[in-house]
Chains A and B, each alone.
Chain A
Amino acid sequence: MIQYIVRRLILVVVLMWIVSMVTFGIFFLIPQATGTNPAVLFAGKAPTPDTVKNVEIKLGLNKPLVTQYADFIGGIFTGRHFDNGRDKTNCPAPCLGYSFVNDQPVWSEMISDLPVTVSLASGASILWLVSGVSVGVVSALRRRSFFDRASMGIALAGVSLPIYFTGLVLLDLFSFKWQILPNVHYVGITQNPISWARNMLLPWIALAFLYAALYARLTRAGMLETMGEDYIRTARAKGLTERRVISRHALRAALTPIVTIFGLDLGQLLGGAILTEYTFGFIGIGHLSVDAIGRQDLPVIMGVTLFAAFFIVFANLVVDVLYAFVDPRVRYS
C-alpha cells in the first residue's frame, strides 16, 4: 500500500513537472518562437515602452531559455528577485510570477482569494455528494416509482439549468422576496462562522444542485447495475437482510466510480468556480482569473493555470489512493 502511494506521488511530481514545462512553453517559448516579445505580453494592456523594457530585464528574457525556465521553477521553491539594476522587486517563495499591472506577486493575490473558492467548493461538494448519492440510491431501489420519476425529472432540470439562472432565482426568492437569508456577500469563516455559513448557503445550494443532479443519475445507474451482479444474489442467498445487502454489498461497489468523479470535480472547482463566483459577486480564484484575462495580466493567468493544474493533479492522487482503499484489486496490481 505504501509502495503504491509512493509510486503515485512520484507520478504526481512528474506530472506537475510536465505541466510546468507546458505552461512555460505556452507563455514564454511560443511568443519568442513566433517573434513576439513576451515582455510586451507580460506587461499588461497597452504598456509603455519603459514598462516593456523593465519587464524584459526583470524576467531575464535576454538570458538563454534554459536559464529562464530554471529561474521560473526556482522561484516557486526558493522565491525570486526581479532585478533590473535600478530597483529590485522581491517575490518570496512560492513565487508564481509577478504582476506588473498592479505590482503584486501573483501568489499573494491568489492566496487572498483562495478562502472564497475553498469555502464555496467544500460546502457545495459535501451538499451535492450527500444529496445526490442518497437520491440516486432511493431512485434505484424504487425504480419506476413516483419518487424515481420525480427526482430524475428534477435531476434533468438540474443538469440543464445554468447556475446563473438557478443562482439568481434562489437569490431573488430567499434574499429579496422572503428575506430569509442575507443579501449574499462573502464573510470570512474566521470573522464570523455563522454569518459565513448563512452567506454561503445559497451559493452552495446553487452549485450543489448542478452537481447533485449528475451524481443522482450516476448513483442510480451504478446501483441498478450493481444490484444485478452475481455477488448480490450470493449475498441474498446467505440470508442477509435486504438492508444489509444494499448497504454493505451493493452500495460499496456502486460508489467507487462516484469517488473518482467526486475527486476530479472537487479538484476542478478548487481551481475556481467562475460562474458561481460571478453570480453571487464573490471574488475567488475564478473571478481573479477572468479579471486577469480582461487585463491581459499574463503572470496572473499563468499562476492560476499552474494552481488549477496542481489541484487537479492532487485530486487525482487522492482519488487513486482512495480507490486503492476501496478496491483491493487496485492495490496489488
Chain B
Amino acid sequence: MTEAEPRGAHSGGELSPQAFLDVRDLRIHFPTDDGLVRAVDGLSFHVERGKTLAIVGESGSGKSVTSLGILGLYNKRNSKMSGEIYLDGKELVNAHPDEVRALRGNKMSMIFQDPLSSLHPYYTIGWQIQEAYRVHNHVTKHEARTRSIELLRRVGIPQPDRRVDDYPHQFSGGMRQRAMIAMSLSCNPELLIADEPTTALDVTVQAQILDLMKDLQQEYNSAIIVITHDLGVVAEVADDVVVMYAGRAMEYGTVGEVFYQPEHPYTWGLLGSVTRMDRDREDRLQPIPGNPPSLINVPPGCPFHRRCRYAALNGGKEREVVPPLEETTPGHLVACHLPIEERRRIFREEIATHI
C-alpha cells in the first residue's frame, strides 16, 4: 500500500455522491505458498442503474477476480480484501458474509462463462432456476416453477413449459447461456455481472445473447458489468470501459473516449490486437509483445513498462513510480507517465493510422 493511491479514480473524487455501484480502491490479495498474489490492486470504478460498464484486459489481469470479489465469493480465510464496495449505498467489503449472501443472486447476480460447466449436470434447468428463486423468495414450488417457465420464455427458449424439465446436456450452447441468464434474472437483480458471457458461444449466438442482455437492461433498468477480452462486445454493449492490467486500471472512460481517443499504450496494444480484415495481411494483427506479468511479482513502477514501446521516453521514472490514474479530460482517466501532449501526439501520428 506504499504506492500512490489512485484518488480521483472516479470522476469527482471520493466526496461525490455514491453511484449505484461504487467500487473504491478495491484490493484482493491471495496469500499463497509462492507469495502474495495481488490479483486486484487498487481498482476504482462506478456504474449507474441502466448503464453498462465493460472491464477489458488480457487473461490474468484481474477481471474475473474483481467480479467474484463484488459478489463476495472469496472467503476471509484464503484471501485479503480491502477497499470499499457500495451497492445502492450499502458497503459490502466489511459486511457480514450472510448479509452479502442475502444480496447475492437477489439484488446482484452473475452470468458465468462456459454455461455447460457452470450448470449442475445432475439437476434439471428448471430445478436450478427455481432454486435460485426460492432461496430469496417465500413461494411455493408451483409458483417457483411458473416463474422458471416464465423466465425461460423471457430469454427466448422455445416451448419453455417442456424444456424446463430438461437437463443442461440436452440444451445447446446458446440455450444453456440463455438458461444461465434466466437463472441470474430470477430475482430481478439490479446489478448484473456477466463474465465473458459470449466467449463459449458461436458468433451468431453471441449477437443474440448481447441483444437479449440489452433488452433486459432496458426492461429492468439494471446496472451491468460485462467482463470480456472481446473488444467487439465492448463496442456493442458498453457505455464505459475500464482497461485493466495487472490488477489495476490503466485507462477508464466512455466507450467513445477509450476507443477513439485512447491515451494508454496498453489500450493501443489491445486495439491493435483486433483483427482488421480491411487491412493488408501483415497489418491485420499487431499483438502486444510479451506476456502479462505474474501477479506475485508485478514489475516495480508502471506494471506495463516492460512491454511498452514508449517506456524509454520517461527517463527511468517508469521503473520506479507507479503512474497514478489521472484525468486527461473530465471523466477520462489514464495511468501513464507520458506527458499528455506527448501521448496524444504519438496516438495521432503513429497509432491512429494502424487501429
CA distance A244 to B169 in the complex (A): 23
B105 and A238 form a contact (CB under 8 A): yes
**Contact status B105-A327, CB under 8 Å:** no
Task: Assess whether A231 is in contact with B119, with CB atoms less than 8 Å apart.
Answer: yes
B112 near A328 (CB under 8 angstroms)? Answer: no
Residues in A with CB closer than 8 Å to B124 are 328
Q: Mark A208-244, 1 if CB is under 8 A from B, else 0.
A: 0000000000000000000001110111111111001
A326 at the interface (CB under 8 A from B): yes
Across the interface, which residues of B come within 8 angstroms of A238, CB to CB?
104-105, 109, 131-132, 135, 183
CA distance A238 to B107 in the complex (A): 10
Task: Name which residue of chain B comes closest to A329, CB basis.
Answer: B169
Q: How far is the CA of A248 from the CA of B71 in the complex (A)?
A: 21
Say which residue of B117, B119, B122 sits within 8 Å of A327 (CB atoms): B122
Per-position binary interface string of chain A over residues 137-177, scored 1 when its CB falls under 8 Å from any chain B CB and 0 otherwise: 00000000000000000000000000000000000000000
- Annotate A239-253 by CB proximity to B: 1 below 8 A, 0 otherwise: 111001000110011
B94 within 8 A of A: no
Residues of chain A within 8 A of B68, CB atoms compared: 233
Q: A258 → chain B, closest Cβ, in Å?
A: 14
Residues of the A chain whose Cβ atoms lie less than 8 Å from the Cβ of B118: 230-231, 233-234
Query: 1/0 per position for B129-157, CB-CB distance to A under 8 A?
Result: 00110011000000000000000000000
Chain A, interface SS category: helix
A237 to B124, CA, bound (A): 18
Number of interface residues of B (CB under 8 A): 29
Task: Give the docked Cα–Cα distance between A235 and B73 (Å).
Answer: 11
Q: Is A178 an interface residue (CB 8 A)?
A: no
Chain A CB count within 10 A is highest, among B68, B71, B102, B122, for B122
Q: Is the Cβ of B136 less than 8 Å from the Cβ of A236?
A: no
Q: Is the beta-carbon distance between B122 and A326 smaller than 8 angstroms?
A: yes
Tell me whether A237 and B109 are in contact (CB under 8 A).
Answer: yes
What is the distance, in angstroms, from A175's C-beta to the closest C-beta of chain B?
Answer: 45
The CA of A96 and the CA of B163, in the complex, are separated in Å by 52
Query: Do B112 and A233 touch (CB < 8 A)?
Result: yes
Contact with A along B21-36 (1 / 0, CB 8 A): 0000000000000000
| Contact A249 B120, CB 8 Å, known A237-B109, A239-B103, A329-B167 | yes
Closest to A231 in B: B120
Contact of B112 among A234, A241, A249 (CB under 8 A): A234
**Bound CA span A252–B131, Å:** 15
Contact: A241 with B122, CB < 8 Å? Answer: no
Measured between beta carbons, the chain B residues less than 8 angstroms from A240 are 105, 131, 135
**A residues lining the B interface (CB < 8 Å):** 229-231, 233-241, 244, 248-249, 252-253, 326-329, 332
**Which 5 A/B pairs are nearest by Cβ-Cβ distance?**
A239-B105, A239-B104, A238-B105, A230-B117, A238-B132
Q: Give the A-binding residues of B (Cβ under 8 A).
A: 68, 71, 73, 101-106, 109-110, 112, 114, 117-122, 124, 131-132, 135-136, 167, 169-170, 183-184
Q: Can you list 17 A-B contacts (CB < 8 A)?
A: A230-B114, A230-B117, A231-B117, A231-B120, A233-B112, A234-B112, A235-B120, A236-B104, A237-B73, A238-B135, A239-B103, A239-B105, A240-B105, A240-B131, A244-B135, A327-B122, A328-B122
Beyond A234-B118, A237-B104, A237-B110, 11 additional contacts (C-beta under 8 Å) are: A230-B118, A231-B121, A233-B68, A233-B112, A236-B73, A238-B104, A238-B131, A239-B136, A253-B122, A328-B121, A332-B170
